[in-house]
Amino acid sequence: MEIIKAEYLISSPSVDMCPKADRPEYAFIGRSNVGKSSLINALTDKKELAKVSRTPGKTQLINHFTINAKSGHSWYLVDLPGYGFAKRSQSLRKEWSKMIENYIRKRENLVNLFVLIDSRHEPQELDLEFVNQLGAWRVPFALVFTKSDKSTQREVAANVRRFLDALSESWEEPPPHFVTSAEKRTGIKQILGFISSLTANG
């Protein structure tokens, strides 16, 4: 898939205020500081599309971007607030959590949720819990292991294997997964190809 146009559309505080569900939608989520904005910018080849911040928890709303591909397909890319331990009040974190859950479970045109995992670390309980919850909700998703350029290939491969092994305790088959680097554009074509195949088959 070749993206020819990517534009910010709107930020919504709740799922019922999101744009009309008139095209396929692909959302991205992960723990704070996992490299989500950098990945979105790499996918769209626009450096400033998603705001990159050194402050965890900067994304606070459901952010929609309109994407037009050379193939003629158009879809929404959605940047969701991160889950985890951003330095915000407990009440605000609960609000975010409910907003994210409502979006994931109620957004009828959501084709796939991309869950970003930091490839530099061994499996984190919070990530495993979130992925298992998606399984309970029957939400289609894929794993995206980020920042693969920050460690050796051996370390990255070991951490990916450990994560998938941990999932195998409760999953019969592993979900689709991609190993990426926003800086080196590793895995970008593969993710866009995955989106393209889902959109074409939709």
Model confidence at 81, pLDDT cuts 50, 70, 90, reads: confident
**CB–CB of 154/146 below 8 Å?**
no
Residues in contact with 72: Cβ distance below 8 Å, sequence separation at least 6, in sequence order: none
User: Whole-structure pTM over 0.95, yes or no?
Assistant: no
| Averaged pLDDT, 47-66 | 72
- For residue 57, pLDDT beyond 80: no
Q: According to the model, what pLDDT value does residue 169 have?
A: 85
Tens of pLDDT, residues 122-158: 999 999 999 999 999 999 999 999 999 999 999 999 9
CA distances from 46 to 6, 36, 54, 64, 82 (A): 8, 14, 19, 15, 21
Rg, Å, the chain Cα set: 16
Domains and CATH numbers, the chain: 3-200 (3.40.50.300)
Residues in contact with 69: Cβ distance below 8 Å, sequence separation at least 6, in sequence order: 1, 2, 3, 4, 75, 196
Model confidence at 93, pLDDT cuts 50, 70, 90, reads: low
Kindly state the tokens that stand for 157.
Answer: 């491969």
**CB–CB of 131/167 below 8 Å?**
yes
